[in-house]
Amino acid sequence: MKSVTYVRLLPHVCRRGAISAICVLAFATSCGGTDRTATNFCRQLAKEMPGIATVPTTQSEADVLVSRYRRLGEVAPSAVADDWSTLTSMLEDATNLNTSNSEDVEAFTKDALQANKAAGRALQWVKDTCGVDLSGFPPASQ
């Protein structure tokens, strides 16, 4: 059973510092054939921002969010591509997490904590390169 509940909880967990970097983005994709440059990444990010900045409340919205991250991943330069891929994978895992299964939640949390450094590097790169701070989300209640 897919659940969007965990995605809605991510901002709360992030504010608590447990997996702050995981909360942000994750991996979107763009049109095939586009050069993997910082400029193209930042342009694609600007296009995706309205959707990335909104906390999903349905499974459909969560799936769209993952698609946005994948599109970004398709234009991510080598300097950030692997870390961005890690973010995207964690976001996708969160959107498919069965929150009623405590073992699944525990395994996801462990994986998310291990991915935290990669997520932090990706977020810092986006901030330094594009001037966009993705480390914050709207509160889970919004």
Residue pLDDT, tens place only, 6-60 = 444 444 334 334 344 344 333 333 334 678 999 999 999 999 998 888 888 898 9
Name the pLDDT band for 78 (thresholds 50, 70, 90). Answer: very high
pTM, two decimals, is: 0.71
| pLDDT(69) > 90 | yes
pLDDT of 30 reads 34
| pLDDT(128) > 90 | yes
Cα distances (Å, whole numbers) of residue 106 to 11, 100, 103, 111, 123: 18, 11, 5, 9, 24
Q: What is the mean pLDDT of residues 68-83?
A: 95
Say which residue the tokens 């993952």 belong to.
66
Residue pLDDT, tens place only, 81-111 = 999 999 899 889 988 888 899 999 999 999 8
pLDDT of 33 reads 62
Sequence-ordered alpha helix ranges (H) in 76-133: 78-95, 102-130
Domain ranges of the chain: 5-130
Residues contacting 23, CB < 8 A, separation 6+ = 10, 11, 13, 14, 135, 137
141 neighbors 57 (Cβ within 8 angstroms): no
